[in-house]
Structure 1
Amino acid sequence: MAALRVAVLSGCGRRALLSAPKTIQTPTANMSMSSLLRKKKFVLTALGLATAGNVGLALMLHQSVKASDLELHPPNYPWSHAGPLSSLDHASVRRGYQVYKQVCSACHSMEYLAFRNLVGVSHTEEEVKTIAEESEVVDGPDESGEMFTRTGKPSDYFPKPYANPEAARAANNGALPPDLSYIVNARHGGEDYVFSLLTGYCEPPAGVAVREGLYYNPYFAGQAIGMAPPIYNEVLEYEDGTPATMSQVAKDVCTFLRWAAEPEHDQRKRMGLKMLMGAAILIPLLYYMKRHRWSVMKSRKIAYKPPK
């Protein structure tokens, strides 16, 4: 009887062991199915993102090369002041002011720039006084309440070519010449754009009609600009004898406009160089203090032992 009971129990145990794997297979299958679903979702998500990125890139490329949109992006020119530690060419700034005075000032203003800003940058104080005295400034009122005209002073701002925007539009076929004080920062591409615009005038391609009074320039938005080609070879004679080629004139006036937009250009880079030199001394000192001095105090353990 005892032997029969043992056999029955052993048979039940054997059946339990045989049936045990069947009960364990279900969670394993569920885990494998969930992992497959997660992988499938990840693959589908990655595929969707890649497809959306490719579609967006294709649309951007399509917009940039449309035949109806012939606007060109200016190339990057190797400006002498473009480096992180490079200063402006002040001889070029001086020539650029001459270009502005003799060519650009007939239509464009620089109302945020005064004669005194040229002192120590491109001209001496005596030269600036002489330049300022060449202009006439409306001042007043006087004791009788009337406005009067006087010769300019270094503290005066550059004179405007037109009395108001309406007069400027009337003299330029409805187009308003922009102020050039911050034009380099106000246009995408900076001096690259201005240089390309000044030297980019050409005949319109076949199939492109330009209205009378406008000029074709692929770098200008809309390609039709109301400003006639302002510079050409030998448009002026430089005081220092530099050949006044078109590219030289454009380069000088762009350098001048960069200085006008950022008078602190050289000082900012000089200050950055001083900070780098100071950091080269200060950072190793701070590392030494942290590693060999402060670490000892930070890792020490203070234990209080009460007196017995």
Structure 2
Amino acid sequence: MKFVKNIAVALCVTAGLASAANAAGAGKHPKQVEWKFNGVFGDFDYQSAQRGFQIYKEVCSACHSLKYFRFRNLDKLGYNEDQIKAIAAEYEVDGDIDDAGDETVRAALPQDAFPSPFRNDNAAASANGGAIPPDLSLMVKARHDGANYVYSLLTGYEDESAAPEGINVSAGKYYNPYFKGSVISMAPPLSEGIVEYAEGNPEANLDQMSKDLVNFLMYTAEPNLHDRHKMGVMVIIFLSVLTILLYFSMKKIWRPVKEGKNFYEDAE
């Protein structure tokens, strides 16, 4: 009876903690999507990531930077050197201080990172209702279950009338149950017709665009994932072969001992 009572108490405590988390505005558990880049043999869907880059350029880059991702890293997405130079040249970054001591700007180069669209945090906050748009370079890695979280956030906007009691969606804010607190300053970034994919690509609907953008953001967070997985497989194969060789070597060395013989005398 005491054991059953302890279980009941534990369940009550767990339920209480869950209720407290919900009351505190913990985000809804993300939708679960199968991603090609998951798993030991995972790799990127490069065509999807290219479409995601298009979305970033045409939509996300108006507010979000990629300060840890350099233009030259686009090479593994299938862009050649000239294309990367052309893409970089579309952006401006800080240049050298001139002879008068003033700051200058210049066209970005392949070795530069994607710049922020705002000069500083104050400018970013002023343009976004007091909220500073986060850098997206490592967003997928920075959040728990990051790929599914970002996908759920992009597809999870609901009308404010769907917000449960106790959640107040003020003017200029939006209801998204997957966001911590459920009230987010960012307007729904993706909608039908906001981008147009080239002929031969899937339809640019909300679900497809969200998956494409997640694939690109996963690439920005870990552009060497393919090489790392390939190296990991090679290391596992090497260690497996080494283990087999060591096992049979050990059997050969210790066999005379088990038979009561001196190994070295037996070898002679």
TM tier, smaller: 0.7 to 0.9
Q: 1:202 to 1:137 in 2, by over 3 A?
A: same
Q: What is the identity, as a one-letter code, of the residue corresponding to 1:60?
A: T
How far off its partner does 1:300 sit? 5.3
Name the residue aligned to 2:184. 225
Alignment partner of 1:88 is 2:44:
yes
User: Whose radius of gyration is greater, 1 or 2?
Assistant: 1
Q: Give the % identical residues.
A: 39
Deviation of 1:279 after TM superposition, in Å, equals 2.7
Aligned residue for 1:137, secondary structure, equals strand
Matches within 5 A, 1:272-287: 272-287=232-247
Q: Higher RCO, 1 or 2 (CA under 8 Å, sep at least 6)? A: 2
Deviates more, 1:50-59 or 1:261-270: 50-59
1:64 to 13, 18, 21: 18
Cα deviation code 1:24-66 (max 9, x no counterpart) = xxxxxxxxxxxxxxxxxxx97xx3xx64454333332344357
Q: Tell whether the 8 Å contact from 2:26 to 2:180 is kept in structure 1 after alignment.
A: no
* Cα 1:54–1:295 shift into 2, 3 Å: farther
Deviates more, 1:257-266 or 1:63-72: 63-72
CA RMSD of aligned residues (A): 2.4
Q: Is the 8 A contact 1:115 1:155 kept in 2?
A: yes
Quick check: 2:140–2:217 contact (8 Å CA) kept in 1? Answer: yes
Aligned pair 1:163/2:123, yes or no?
no
Out of 151, 154, 174, which is 1:195 matched to?
Answer: 151
Find the aligned partners of 2:206 and 2:236 in 1 and give their Cα distance.
39
Q: Give the structure 2 partner of residue 178 of structure 1.
A: 134
The 5-angstrom pairing of residues 209-288 of structure 1 reads 209-239=168-198, 241-242=200-201, 243-288=203-248
Q: Which stretch has the larger CA shift, 239-248 or 268-277?
A: 239-248
Secondary structure of 1:180's counterpart equals: coil
Q: Partners of 2:243 and 2:124 in 1: how far apart?
A: 56
Contact 1:94 1:123 in 2 (8 A): no
What are the Cα deviations for residues 205-225 of structure 1, in whole angstroms up to 9, with x where unaligned?
264531111100010111110
TM-score (norm. length: structure 1): 0.76
Return the TM-score normalized by structure 2: 0.86
Give the Cα separation in 1 of the matches to 2:218 and 2:255: 49
Shift of 1:150: 2.2
Tell me the residue number matched to 1:131.
87
Gaps (5+ residues) in structure 1? 1-42, 303-308
CA distance in 1, matches of 2:11, 2:228: 38
1:276 Cα shift? 2.2
Q: 1:296 to 1:172 in 2, by over 3 A?
A: same
Matched position secondary structure for 2:114: coil
Match of 1:140 in 2: 96
| Residue type of the alignment partner of 2:183 | A
Counterpart CA distance in 2 for 1:54 and 1:267 is 50
What is the CA deviation profile of residues 256-282 of structure 1, one whole-angstrom value per residue up to 9, with x for unaligned ones?
A: 111111122111110111122223322
The separation in 1 between residues aligned to 2:248 and 2:217, in whole angstroms, is 46
Cα distance between partner residues in 2 of 1:98 and 1:132: 14
Contact 1:234 1:246 in 2 (8 A): no
CA gap of 1:54–1:180, structure 2 versus 1, over 3 A, is farther
